[in-house]
Amino acid sequence: MRWRPAACPLLILALGCNDYALEGLGASARVNGDEETFQPGDSAGMDSGGGDDSGGVLDTGDPCADSGALNPTVEISAVEADPDAAEPVCTALGAVDWSMVVKWRASLPGFAMGMVAAPNQGRAGASVFVDSDGTMIELDGRDGTVLQEVLLVANTGSDDDGSMPVVADTDGDGDLDFAAPAWGFVNRVDTGTGAIFRFDSRGNDPHGADDEVIQYADIDLDGTPEVILSTAVFAADGTRLTEQATAQFTQMFVTDLDGDSFPEWVNGHGIWDPRDGSGTAFDASVGEGGSFYGAPVDVGGGSVAFSRDTSTWAVVEADGTVASTVSGAGGRLRGLVAVGDVDGDGSPDVVRIESQRTRVAVTEPSGRETRSWAFDEGDLSGGGLSLADLDADGIYEIILLRPSGLSVLSGLTGEVLAETTAVGTAARDSAPIIADIDGDGSAEIVALASSGTSAGEVVALGPATGRWARTRPIWNQLAYDAAAVRDDGTLVRFGTPGWSGLQAFRAQPGRDGELPDLAVSLSATDGEVCDEPAMLVTVGVRNIGSADAPAGALLQLSTWDGAARAVLLEEMLPAAIPPGKRVTLTWQGPLDAAGLIAEIVPVGQECDSLDDEAELLAL
């Protein structure tokens, strides 16, 4: 640690002026614990009005000493036993049996296109949700039993009444909130009570009934998620906030592209601020006008890529500039794009079905193809693909559903690792989902089986023997972003943009292997110091994995004032943290902020990067 003169403008918060501040902290600090374990490093000592430069463990002394101004303090514990330690969340997996078996099948009353899964109401495993012909079906992930059915909309006579639903715990009550668009309306269901709330989504768009994709996102970061369609953004009460009416027939996603904490709304026509609809339309030169089946994905640096009807893959920068295009890609893509490292080179790949649905291609984000595998004509006309790390090697497999069956492919060689004809679909954009839906510590593949637009089935698949990798119990929407939702279905308000975090989209990471796993907790209590109001903030960093977490992990504590994040402190943990151990950081001082965010940046690979952040946004 280096010490330097403090500069009050750097504090951002009303912490009071102190003579010296810890580099990166913006406040005076006291670091206690084992002197060998927690060395200050290149300390220049501390001189707060006549002190010495003794180095070693540093102590700011009396927090009330400076002319009545309260001096915030920081204390870091030595590595200590974790009183809440349990069995490691990940251990070595061993060899994987790629033979698949059907674990259960559940018949549906009508046609369905998409499904989602998440834990609900404290039950073991997860529930699987389907919008089948205008009816919400909730299935028990353990055996496929129907838990409830809720009519969303009367059958219009069309045999194509399915949609791509979303589930999330939007109010923190432990019950999932289901939402699905259906013929010009958005239908929301409180799955705890079965109560339904419906609002008109058509607005100025006569084609609003054609919206099939939906998700929840907290666009203004006020703690209440909004409802997002391809064409419009709605408040929780159904109030229309903004719209892009020409974006029907396109897929979309919501994520923070520019790093300002507020998410952008990206559909097949542009990049928008969902709060007011401002933004940049994609250049029409990269695709024909009217409706096109865009499948946008985040490709890093604030840029997105998408496919158009004209079979052009375009990379567009945040300001709308077309950075690059590749012709011959696409083939009327909608939701059939996924992102993840499928070849083990450490860089994410884009995986898609293209060229009139006769090939599965792996490309760089720019669209340059690196490898592809051909299929019989018509064999990719239905279904779709997703990614999952089923063998816990850190490399994603390609899970491909098509009319003739379901396959697990190596993303490096195209080798068919597993295959079954027990499930297949002719319905477009019906990609499989991957989650631990029965709570047995092994991933399941869940897919829709149907012939065209007729009634179908939900089929759950697993390994014939042993297990696949441990994984999450949730896949909550078509545009699944693992970094945006927690295991319990609550949304991550300050999610890390996919490209700078997991570098994955519509991909399910494994939670296995002999690896460390640093998990962060955060709490705050009001109190007094020096007869002044103060807050005690406690950040816990636990290793719940099965291997030592290397020294050098960076712990960051930030404040949130309702409009922006500000770093309150950054601290590098110089000691390794063994399994079942923890380190605790406490910060005490005056704090004028709406919330706090704690994040750990580990060194090297860990079992689960989705528990590296904790939020406390109601101080």
254-279 pLDDT tens trace? 888 877 888 888 887 788 889 888 88
Identify whether the C-beta of residue 247 lies closer than 8 Å to the C-beta of residue 231: yes
Same domain, 318 and 386: yes
* Average pLDDT for 242-256: 73
Examine the pLDDT at 556 and tell me if it is beyond 90: yes
What pLDDT is attached to residue 417?
Answer: 96
* Residue 168 is assigned to a structural domain of this protein: yes
* Average pLDDT for 32-37: 33
Cα 208 to Cα 215: distance, rounded to the nearest angstrom: 16
Q: Assign 303 a pLDDT band (cuts: 50, 70, 90).
A: confident
Examine the pLDDT at 425 and tell me if it is beyond 70: yes
Same domain, 380 and 524: no
25, β-bridge pairs: none
Cα 387 to Cα 409: distance, rounded to the nearest angstrom: 10
344 or 252, greater pLDDT: 344
Which of 54-63, 393-402, 468-477 has the lowest average pLDDT? 54-63
Cα 614 to Cα 394: distance, rounded to the nearest angstrom: 24
Examine the pLDDT at 182 and tell me if it is beyond 60: yes
Q: Which CATH number fits the domain that encloses residue 241?
A: 2.130.10.10
| Number of folded domains that form the chain | 2
223 or 18, greater pLDDT: 223
Task: Give me the chain's average pLDDT, please.
Answer: 79
Boundary of a domain, candidates 508, 543, 576: 508
463 or 323, greater pLDDT: 463
* Residue 101 is assigned to a structural domain of this protein: no
* Residue 13 is assigned to a structural domain of this protein: no
What pLDDT is attached to residue 66?
Answer: 55
462 or 86, greater pLDDT: 462
Calculate the alpha carbon distances from 121 to 172, 336, 456 in Å: 11, 31, 27
Same domain, 500 and 535: no
> Which contacts qualify for 398-405: CB closer than 8 Å, 24 or more apart?
398/338, 398/342, 398/351, 398/360, 399/432, 399/434, 399/445, 400/360, 401/425, 401/430, 401/431, 401/432, 401/447, 401/448, 402/375, 403/378, 403/379, 404/376, 404/379
Q: Assign 110 a pLDDT band (cuts: 50, 70, 90).
A: confident
Same domain, 157 and 297: yes
379 or 293, greater pLDDT: 379
What pLDDT is attached to residue 44?
Answer: 29
Same domain, 218 and 292: yes
CA quadruple 470, 474, 477, 481: dihedral sign: negative
Same domain, 223 and 345: yes
Which of 1-5, 517-521, 590-594 has the lowest average pLDDT? 1-5
The one-letter code for the residue type at 489 is G
What pLDDT is attached to residue 381?
Answer: 74
Same domain, 501 and 591: no
What pLDDT is attached to residue 509?
Answer: 92
Same domain, 571 and 475: no
* Average pLDDT for 286-315: 65
Across 422-436, 541-555, 599-613, the highest mean pLDDT is recorded for 541-555
Boundary of a domain, candidates 508, 533, 550: 508
389, two tokens: 């790390």
Cα 398 to Cα 437: distance, rounded to the nearest angstrom: 19
What pLDDT is attached to residue 163?
Answer: 77
* Average pLDDT for 59-80: 70
Same domain, 387 and 497: yes
138, two tokens: 């909730």
* Average pLDDT for 280-301: 62
What pLDDT is attached to residue 152?
Answer: 85
Q: Which CATH number fits the domain that encloses residue 533?
A: 2.60.40.10
Cα 325 to Cα 58: distance, rounded to the nearest angstrom: 56
What pLDDT is attached to residue 63?
Answer: 62
What pLDDT is attached to residue 41?
Answer: 33
In the chain, pLDDT over 70 holds for what percent of residues?
77
Which of 27-36, 283-292, 567-576 has the lowest average pLDDT? 27-36
Examine the pLDDT at 58 and tell me if it is beyond 90: no
Q: Assign 56 a pLDDT band (cuts: 50, 70, 90).
A: very low
* Residue 8 is assigned to a structural domain of this protein: no
pTM of the model: 0.84
* Average pLDDT for 450-473: 87
364: number of Cβ within 10 Å: 15
Residue with tokens 């990940």: 90
Examine the pLDDT at 574 and tell me if it is beyond 90: no
* Average pLDDT for 546-572: 91
80 or 13, greater pLDDT: 80
* Average pLDDT for 545-560: 94
What pLDDT is attached to residue 466?
Answer: 93
What pLDDT is attached to residue 111?
Answer: 81
* Residue 106 is assigned to a structural domain of this protein: no
Q: Assign 24 a pLDDT band (cuts: 50, 70, 90).
A: very low
What pLDDT is attached to residue 359?
Answer: 83
Same domain, 520 and 591: yes
Cα 473 to Cα 612: distance, rounded to the nearest angstrom: 18
Same domain, 457 and 566: no
* Residue 567 is assigned to a structural domain of this protein: yes
Same domain, 482 and 533: no
15 or 116, greater pLDDT: 116
* Residue 35 is assigned to a structural domain of this protein: no
List the Cα angle 156/239/154 in 5-degree steps. Answer: 15
In the chain, pLDDT over 90 holds for what percent of residues?
40
* Residue 95 is assigned to a structural domain of this protein: no
* Average pLDDT for 533-556: 94
Domain of 484, in residue numbers:
112-508
Examine the pLDDT at 45 and tell me if it is beyond 50: no
Q: Assign 318 a pLDDT band (cuts: 50, 70, 90).
A: confident
Boundary of a domain, candidates 508, 534, 549: 508
